[in-house]
């Protein structure tokens, strides 16, 4: 059979002859006649069998005999073709332009990833055939740049992939804006149950065109699988691509990050490679695809989403760096090679976690993929080492240098704790005061003959004994009344005088502490005691160096803090600045 037997108009036959099309493919032989009759068509055929021409040629012929531009001069959109990816939309646009070059029809493609201003300008001129991706089309519809009231033919290509990519809601919104009376051409490489349900809701008495069993693979594609551990996949890929007979290879990864990594490591090994995925701009994706087609780039690393629309007749190898978890996706991947009656080779890497995926794929295609065992990296069950969890001290650090300070504080606190255990033990006062222990130790180190501390209660007048008098010479005193004079410029561990007076030699100490931020007066039941002497013992006051040590030693008890205070006092260290 030839295209002349399909009742196509002379202008289309002339264009097909210029494109060197001689005989129609099986799906074209069955789909074109029923589509020319105006019936809905459900086409199920594997990738690379000529589905684009199967729906493009009937559209061109039916619209060629229709109405021309309206009186206002703007052409209404009479045919809409929805595709899942930008590359596939551009490929269909190029084919339709080639098939309709000898007609008066005008076509346009709108995709995301590029500025929409030129697309808006072309839409104002009008177009007969619009090829679009669902996301950008819906945006332009919401902005009132696209009117679908005149649609006569609706085409959904790669419908199963649109479902996988989550475009089903966008597609349903677009279909709701299309007239109910229309011809629908539905093409898909696979036919899962979800697609069957969508077909029942869209098509009316469709003519089903199924050339091969669902999800079957091309017999001319030689398939092979390598069982390899995940850490060795990149090494195996580098070894395979060192073969100069592999002129071009399309490598599939599961994630965008994985595509970038594989391309980067191949380029580092001296193998020209580029990555193409959804995070790349449309210009970058198109540049990578063009370089791959013209041979500038030898290896193209892609994700499943970006790979739709990569139509290269000379592509010899497809390599599955990661096996897909959806068996039908495997059919789409290897369908990039072995096109137009040529031979192709499909190579798959399978790690331990992907063995169930391999089993599902073999069940779907109905054959066992031959295993290649003669390679340098056989599977041993090795898995990548799990990353070590971060140290707890680094997670608990606060501030700009929180992580560093907390790690240092933890080491310093541990050394102080060990030293405190070996230091001579001193009976702590009954009130558990940390500052009182420090004050007594400082006085004992300065004057060994100092009298013993009085046991009188802190709020009695006799509390200002000789021990407190000696300590008061080092620090300014605090008044009895907290309301009249709040405690400020006073370090922890320096008791105040009971009568509120300031000794003569306290001026130097006050000058040294003048730049310190004033402390907030205490509230509650401890306010009276704080009026007599500073709050000591237990946890340190916020904002001090002791508080910073507390951040690194959150598990210390009050007794450990008292031991730390005693240790620092015995060596003449300041409680806040050391």
pLDDT digits over 220-264, tens only?
Answer: 789 999 999 999 999 999 999 999 889 889 999 999 999 999 999
Q: Is residue 546 part of a domain?
A: yes
349, 421: one domain: no
pTM > 0.75 = no
Q: What is the mean pLDDT of residues 18-41?
A: 91
d(CA 257, CA 274): 13
Q: Is the pLDDT of residue 537 over 60?
A: no
- Domain's final residue, options 325, 345, 365: 365
In the chain, the number of structural domains is 3
End residue of a domain, out of 365, 394, 422: 365
Is the C-alpha dihedral spanning 454, 459, 462, 467 positive or negative? positive
At 258 the pLDDT is 93
Flag the least confident range among 98-107, 381-390, 442-451. 442-451
Q: What number is the average pLDDT over the span 419-437?
A: 46
Domain presence at residue 159: yes
Residues 186 and 312 grouped into a single domain: no
Q: Do 64 and 34 share a structural domain? A: yes
* Alpha-carbon radius of gyration of the chain: 40
**Packed helices 86-99 and 51-64: angle between N→C axes, nearest 10 degrees:** 50
Rounded Cα–Cα distance for residues 54 and 32 (Å)? 6
Based on the fold, state whether residues 355 and 319 are members of the same structural domain: yes
Residue 11's alpha-carbon distances to 60, 283, 410, in angstroms, are: 10, 33, 84
Per-residue pLDDT band at 485 (split at 50, 70, 90): very low
In a domain, 495, yes or no: yes
Are 242 and 157 within one domain?
Answer: no
Has residue 85 been placed in a domain? yes
Indicate whether 324 pLDDT > 70: yes
Whether 381 is in a domain gets the answer no
Question: Domain containing 128 — which CATH number?
Answer: 3.40.50.300
- Whether residues 528 and 443 fall in one domain: yes
Q: Say if residue 313 is in the same domain as residue 338.
A: yes
State the Cα–Cα distance between residues 216 and 362, nearest whole angstrom.
11
- Domain boundary (344, 365, 386) is at 365
Of 343-347, 507-511, 530-534, which has the strongest mean pLDDT?
343-347
Report yes or no on 378 lying in a domain: no
Q: Note whether residue 392 is domain-resident.
A: no
Are 88 and 5 contacting, i.e. CB atoms less than 8 angstroms apart? Answer: no
Domain match, 424 and 347 both = no
Does 396 score more than 80 pLDDT?
no
Tens of pLDDT along 256-288?
999 999 999 999 999 999 998 878 877 888 888
Comparing 474 with 264, the larger pLDDT belongs to 264
Whether residue 171 sits in one domain with residue 59 = yes
CA 541, CA 521: separation in Å to the nearest integer? 12
Instruction: Assess if residue 456 is contained within a domain.
Output: no
- What is the domain range of residue 47? 3-210
CA torsion 158→162→165→166, rounded to 10°?
Answer: -170
Q: Which pLDDT belongs to residue 26?
A: 87
Mean pLDDT over 443-455 rounds to: 45
**Residue 90 sits in the same domain as residue 133:** yes
Query: Are 248 and 200 members of one domain?
Result: no
What mean pLDDT comes out for the span 430-440?
Answer: 43
Q: Do 344 and 304 share a structural domain?
A: yes
């Amino acid at each position: 059979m030839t295209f002349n037997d399909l009742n196509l108009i002379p202008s289309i036959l002339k264009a097909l002859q210029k494109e060197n099309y001689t005989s129609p493919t099986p799906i074209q032989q069955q789909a074109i006649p029923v589509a020319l009759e105006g019936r809905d068509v459900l086409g199920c055929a594997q990738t690379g069998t000529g589905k684009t021409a199967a729906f493009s040629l009937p559209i061109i012929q039916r619209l060629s005999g229709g109405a021309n531009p309206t009186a206002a001069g703007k052409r209404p959109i009479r045919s809409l073709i929805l595709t899942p990816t930008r590359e596939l939309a551009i490929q269909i646009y190029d084919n339709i332009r080639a098939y309709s070059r000898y007609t008066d029809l005008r076509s346009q493609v709108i995709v995301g990833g590029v500025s929409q201003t030129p697309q808006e300008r072309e839409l104002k001129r009008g177009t007969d055939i619009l090829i679009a991706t669902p996301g950008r089309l819906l945006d332009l519809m919401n902005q009132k740049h696209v009117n679908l009231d005149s649609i006569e033919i609706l085409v959904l290509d790669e419908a199963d992939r649109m479902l996988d990519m989550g475009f089903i809601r966008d597609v349903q919104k677009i279909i709701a804006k299309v007239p109910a009376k229309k011809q629908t051409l539905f093409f898909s490489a696979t036919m899962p149950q979800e697609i069957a349900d969508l077909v029942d809701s869209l098509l009316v008495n469709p003519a089903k065109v199924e050339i091969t069993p669902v999800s079957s693979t091309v017999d001319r594609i030689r398939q092979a699988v390598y069982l390899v551990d995940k850490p060795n996949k990149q090494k195996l890929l580098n070894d395979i691509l060192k073969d100069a007979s592999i002129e071009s290879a399309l490598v599939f990864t599961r994630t965008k990050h994985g595509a970038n990594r594989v391309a980067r490591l191949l380029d580092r090994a001296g193998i020209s490679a580029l990555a193409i995925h959804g995070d790349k701009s449309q210009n970058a994706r198109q540049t990578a695809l063009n370089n791959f087609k013209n041979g500038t780039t030898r290896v193209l690393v892609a994700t499943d989403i970006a790979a739709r629309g990569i139509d290269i007749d000379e592509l010899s190898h497809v390599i599955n760096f990661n096996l897909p978890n959806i068996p039908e996706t495997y059919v789409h991947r290897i369908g990039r090679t072995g096109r137009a009656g040529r031979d192709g080779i499909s190579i798959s890497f399978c790690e331990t976690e992907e063995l169930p995926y391999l089993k599902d794929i073999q069940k779907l295609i109905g054959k066992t993929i031959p295993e290649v065992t003669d390679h340098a990296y056989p599977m041993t069950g090795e898995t990548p080492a799990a990353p070590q969890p971060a140290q707890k001290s680094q997670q608990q650090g606060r501030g700009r240098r929180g992580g560093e300070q907390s790690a240092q504080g933890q080491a310093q606190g541990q050394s102080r704790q060990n030293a405190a255990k070996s230091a001579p033990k001193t009976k702590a006062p009954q009130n558990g005061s940390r500052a009182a222990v420090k004050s007594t130790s400082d006085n004992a180190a300065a004057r060994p003959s100092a009298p013993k501390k009085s046991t009188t209660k802190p709020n009695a007048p006799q509390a200002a004994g000789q021990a407190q008098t000696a300590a008061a010479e080092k620090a300014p005193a605090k008044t009895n009344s907290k309301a009249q004079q709040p405690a400020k410029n006073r370090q922890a561990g320096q008791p105040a005088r009971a009568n509120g007076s300031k000794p003569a030699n306290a001026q130097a100490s006050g000058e040294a502490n003048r730049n310190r931020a004033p402390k907030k007066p205490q509230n509650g039941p401890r306010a009276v005691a704080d009026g007599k002497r500073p709050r000591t013992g237990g946890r340190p006051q916020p904002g001090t160096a002791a508080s910073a040590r507390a951040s690194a030693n959150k598990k210390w008890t009050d007794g450990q803090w008292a031991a730390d205070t005693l240790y620092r006092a015995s060596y003449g260290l300041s409680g806040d600045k050391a």
